[in-house]
Chains A and B, each alone.
Chain A
């Protein structure tokens, strides 16, 4: 009886459907943005919803990156997963390992029949999210890379030419010495120490961070960032910390506030920090490429990205996936991408978006905003500079943070700290490998 009633109801709705407006397909998009970035994201979603009537994307903030990933995982376990989940770059290996939980982006695009050319995307960006066979697993959304922010007034104040060459760490070393002599309280600071000084540092100097092509080759990768070059760099930073030339502010981007307030002279941070610095800095600032050690073969290679990509979760029907494809197509369009790039300082994910931005004269009006793009795209990425694909990497970063703190406080020397970080990180990699088998 109930079946009959249900059938009748179904028949009735099917019959009535063409008469009323076609029901929109709902697409859930869970993200990890807050503040200004969330507003910009909501604006993109609103523009997409207004531009067509078949699909309705609903964006929901789910806390910070770690929390959003956990929300996605918990939802999947409960069978309530969204269609699109924003996952930060260090969660890539976790998502890739979850074969039954995700639907690769290339598959979604293929089945939708919408035009999709993986070659249109910046290789240095998509490389992070692409299989060894060149299949794109997730859509890069917000990607940034490390650059050097310079407080020009601080340099002038210390009697240093603000246009002095800061492209190498050797030159930075000399300038930090001069700043210190001039009595500057905070010559240099950094955010995201592991990302800047080990992950990207290794790529930029074309040395491996982990075996198996930084984990792209397989789950049995082992960390190797305790090589002589990395040790030498961390030892130098430790020396600067001891001499009061490098002021450590915290594990994430706490140092940003110090730079924006004018306390610190030099600052390494994500290129996406541009909007914040521009809004708050009461001094003349400039963006420079990330410094490298002169004399290292192959340096500067390219830096690696950070940020997040959009993953499509498994377990939804074809119509919904078509909507997801349409939304991703919209996000990748040159105009939307160019706007996003200019508003946020994130890299444009397609070559076309970069061209649109350049043609609009944005780079001339905002000098330094193209440095991140140039830094990423001048050289073809190598095995060491394509990115990282390591399990439990969020936690490995926490271990690296702990060990680096021991160097900054003088409790350990660089070699001992990095050896210990490698040993502890490898333990987590082995557990991840075991869980994934």
Chain B
């Protein structure tokens, strides 16, 4: 039976982990991830989820315990944010080349200093090159669905890579939204049992994590890269089959009134919904403007991006992170790189918005679109614009 309930997104994500029947959860509390792991602890304490909950002493150990758990063949989940993700960074890098299918939710929050518990994507960008599959969601339903989908992708024998789901702290994790929970039987049908091919098992000894001298190191890294590139097919198939089973469809690059629009904005995460309202209003005012949303961050959807912007003349990027001393928005620079060799490509205007939880409102997005069009036309002395900053 399908139920639709009003529920806090963090609680809903924990319920999704329960629906996925995780075996091991290792987590350390950090705002704004706490409600996810608290509710998981409750589910385990009440016997609603049969799992081992390891209340580790740090995020470094959280991810380390996840490595051990996944290597032993258990379905493994953790969640973190910000400094926690930074502390576990060393371990995050290890999961992908060791091909350990861990699922991690990141409740995106800015990195210190100054300390800020509020959302932006600086933590997300700090793990860009860790080799994880990375999905960005923008509402509670997407968070729930993609938590279940993530286990299927990660554990697929053709993938065997860890998956990170990025969801903005507070503006997404702490809001109450109407969520449709898929039925347990339907999830069980969609998500097969984890069959990790070479687990740590005394009956069949394997050596994992050996060191690699130069004669073999490049080959190990190439194997990792090929696995991540090839995962895109499986990701798309997992999304398609989810759509067939549950009626909600996800794509690497999602479009909103973007077909044929001369001006496009590109968003990541929860700000995308506010931006959509701005798009609606601007279109009512007669502007030819649309939106694309980046759902799949890694592997980067080059083909889908190029297709989505092929008719646009201006593309305004909305990054929620800053590459200090560099080109500004990290996603913007990747998009520029992806389009540089195209014969027909839009002018790209890079905006950095909403750092450390500062809201960009509907009127803010409208303002950015208007400014962005002008910059595309007349140029700017800046490499990028930082919206609304007091200098």
Chains A and B form a bound pair = no
Chain A residues near B (Cβ < 8 Å): none
